[in-house]
A and B are shown apart, each in its own frame.
Chain A
Amino acid sequence: MSDVILQVEDLHTSFFTRAGEVKAVDGISFYVNEGETFGLVGESACGKTVTGLSILRLLPEPAGRIVGGKIILDGTNLMELSKKEMRGIRGKKISMILQDPMTSLNPVYTVGDQIAESVRLHQGLPDDMVELEVISALRLLGIPAPESRLHDYPFQMSGGMRQRVVGSIAMSCRPRLLIADEPTTALDATIQAQYLALFKDIQKQTDVAIIFITHDFGVVANICQRVAVMYAGKIMETAATSTIFKAPKHPYTVALINSVPRLDQKDDRLYSIEGQPPSLLNLPPGCRFAPRCPDAQDICHNQQPPEVEVGDGHTVSCWKVK
């Protein structure tokens, strides 16, 4: 059994707006093992990005706040750290890659400067050593001719290359945990395939644990070992990737997988989930998915289902599964 690097316990994150409290993340628990890729999958507004930001404590305060729960990295509860101590964690032990490489880089600094920023901050190296670190970070992400590319500005690079630079910044201090928030969504299909292959390679080299946030089941199948499926702020099902695809238990997981068109077979009609996700301001009292669930019973509408373990590392929150 490999070691757990990150443990999230009963995390609650809310946004306090004029219309009321928006429970973006409402009591989720999961763990990530060292050197593994853990997928957080779900549709827009299910709370997957907020989970990532909560782990780094980067929520837009005071509107967004962690209301409860524990985030334990390597035995330390991040919730108890001061702001200063947290700055020592970000970029060094945990780093993040954002979705859009067009907006996550500063257009007026060279990419070398932007990578050097976190190297200087966390490692306190002399300038000539910093440059070597920057070059090695660029090389790790497979950027050709890093010695000359580090003097380039972001606009001189293509989308795929920029996303590699963002990856270099994230990996520059060799973090233990990397949170990748839809890193390939803005990329073209063939470039996306390159990027995912690169990630697998980096993980082999550095043994970094990755939380991969995505809405794309194809990406999950490609890169993740375990997955949690989120819906309206809650985790519906957690399991190994192959279990999620071959023996999903939660009706939402089943519906979501069925509604993705397949390339290797011709469908005449797609399975579709009727209706829309509930408003986070006004959540149903029972199971979040009950209003759209084909198998919903009375209890589903009134009481929240408990999380039940149905197999090795396979947990489901559904009244149908007892």
Chain B
Amino acid sequence: MADILLEGRDLKKYYPVTKGILQRTVGWVRAVDGVSFTIERGKTLSLVGESGAGKTTVAKQILLLEQLTSGTILFEGKDVYKFTKSQLKTEYRPRVQSVQQNPWSSMNPRMRVRDIVAEPLVVNTKHSKEQIQSRVQELLKQVGLAPNHTDYYPHEFSGGQRQRIAVARALALNPSLVVLDEPVSALDVSIRAQIMNLLKDLQEQYNLSYLVIAHNLATVRFMSHSVAIMYLGQIVEYGEAEEVFSQPLHPYTRALMSASILKLPEDEDQKITPIILSGEMPSPLNPPPGCRFHTRCAEAIDICSKEEPELRVIGKHQVRCHIYDDASVQSALSSGLHPGTEGRPQQP
């Protein structure tokens, strides 16, 4: 049995849209609409999607920075919303830490590195000054910074080094789960590889769990054990990373993969036909009826605009799509056949 650290069940976040001087609610923005997932101890789950998919809102819900509209967050089997304030302070918040996307705005420019990294320790522990000092040194060493860096200010560092400082701060309290919100997207290519390798090493060393929020699929494949593809507030495909990447089933996942795969000009005549989606993601204020993706989907059939598909196990992972309703498709998939793209309508 898998060792589950954190579980989200049917998470929802609706933001009210108000109007007039009475601020009457006239509608709801369904930023997150029924998202369920599990994060295993020592493993990485990635939430992937474009802007507006709701991935950051899910991360904020886990960090308790956003209230749930409904749903349950279970941490080591216990409902986080039933924790008392003091329990949250000792048993939840120190163990769930985060690294933000932009290392230029996630640190106070007037604090020295030693104070930035020490802050979680000062707030949450009763360590002496000397203990804190030595812990800070230890943390900086772990993330590959020099001991004399403690006296510097954030502006004296490059982007990659700042992201290392942010990682050191997140690790200060020995967390079990670190939420990484686009941890490398603000960094240069050659620096990205350094940080991704560092995060992987730290995970192995401390048996950390990661929740990675990302839009770059290649980054996700490198980092993740399991992956959830989100579209307009819902998970459209969810499973083991290797399964999803080797056999993407949802048309949206396939379009995303086709958009991010490295493809040389002369490969053009080969079988990978680029899938170019028409249009843009609809507004979450007024999601289309039926499947939320059907307005852009090349494979949409009649039922797609009428009935909302459920997230179901197809093959070896979960997919939210009507084109797999057919029993014959399902049996072909579970016997391990690759569905490929042939035989289905292709985008011109």
Q: A241-B265, A269-B197 are in contact. Are A276 and B192 (CB under 8 A)?
A: no
A43, B190: Cβ atoms under 8 Å? yes
Q: A43-B190, A272-B194, A273-B190 are in contact. Are A264 and B274 (CB under 8 A)?
A: no
**Which of B50, B190, B218, B275 lies in contact with A262, CB distance below 8 A?**
B218
A274 to B194, CA, bound (A): 8
Q: Which residues of A contact B281 (CB under 8 A)?
A: 188
Q: Which residues of A contact B255 (CB under 8 A)?
A: 190, 193
A221 to B190, CA, bound (A): 18
Q: Which residues of A contact B277 (CB under 8 A)?
A: 190, 193-194
Q: Which residues of B contact A222 (CB under 8 A)?
A: 263
Q: Which residues of B contact A192 (CB under 8 A)?
A: 259
B120 at the interface (CB under 8 A from A): no
**Which of B158, B197, B262 lies in contact with A260, CB distance below 8 A?**
B262
Q: A189-B50, A190-B255, A221-B265 are in contact. Are A197 and B219 (CB under 8 A)?
A: no
Q: A189-B259, A190-B256 are in contact. Are A261 and B158 (CB under 8 A)?
A: no
A44 at the interface (CB under 8 A from B): yes
Closest CB of chain A to B173's CB: distance in Å? 28
Q: Which residues of B contact A260 (CB under 8 A)?
A: 189, 193, 218, 262
Q: Which residues of B contact A215 (CB under 8 A)?
A: 188-189
0/1 interface trace, chain A 259-273, chain B, CB 8 Å (1 if under): 111111011011111
Q: A189-B215, A276-B160 are in contact. Are A259 and B265 (CB under 8 A)?
A: no
A272 to B200, CA, bound (A): 13
B266 at the interface (CB under 8 A from A): yes
Q: A44-B188, A242-B266, A276-B160 are in contact. Are A263 and B50 (CB under 8 A)?
A: no
B264, A189: Cβ atoms under 8 Å? no
Q: Which residues of A contact B188 (CB under 8 A)?
A: 43-44, 215
A86 at the interface (CB under 8 A from B): no
Q: A190-B256, A276-B158 are in contact. Are A264 and B261 (CB under 8 A)?
A: yes
B217, A270: Cβ atoms under 8 Å? no
A158 at the interface (CB under 8 A from B): yes
B302 at the interface (CB under 8 A from A): no
**Which of A197, A255, A261 lies in contact with B274, CB distance below 8 A?**
A197
B222, A221: Cβ atoms under 8 Å? no
**Which of B215, B216, B258 lies in contact with A193, CB distance below 8 A?**
B258
Q: Looking across the interface, which residue of chain A has its beta carbon closest to that of B52?
A: A188
Q: Which residues of A contact B193 (CB under 8 A)?
A: 259-261, 270-273
A44 to B222, CA, bound (A): 23
0/1 interface trace, chain A 239-280, chain B, CB 8 Å (1 if under): 001100110000000011001111110110111111010000
A267, B222: Cβ atoms under 8 Å? yes
Q: Looking across the interface, which residue of chain A has its beta carbon closest to that of B53?
A: A188
A191 at the interface (CB under 8 A from B): yes
Q: Which residues of B contact A189 (CB under 8 A)?
A: 50, 215-217, 256, 259-260
Closest CB of chain A to B332's CB: distance in Å? 23
0/1 interface trace, chain A 178-208, chain B, CB 8 Å (1 if under): 0000000000111111100100000000000
**23 pairs, CB–CB < 8 Å, chain A vs chain B:** A43-B188, A43-B190, A188-B51, A190-B256, A190-B276, A190-B277, A191-B50, A192-B259, A193-B276, A194-B277, A215-B189, A218-B262, A221-B262, A221-B263, A242-B265, A245-B264, A255-B190, A260-B193, A261-B219, A266-B221, A270-B222, A272-B197, A276-B160
List 10 A-B pairs, minimum CB-CB distance, nearest first: A188-B50, A259-B193, A272-B193, A193-B259, A43-B188, A270-B193, A261-B222, A273-B190, A261-B218, A189-B259
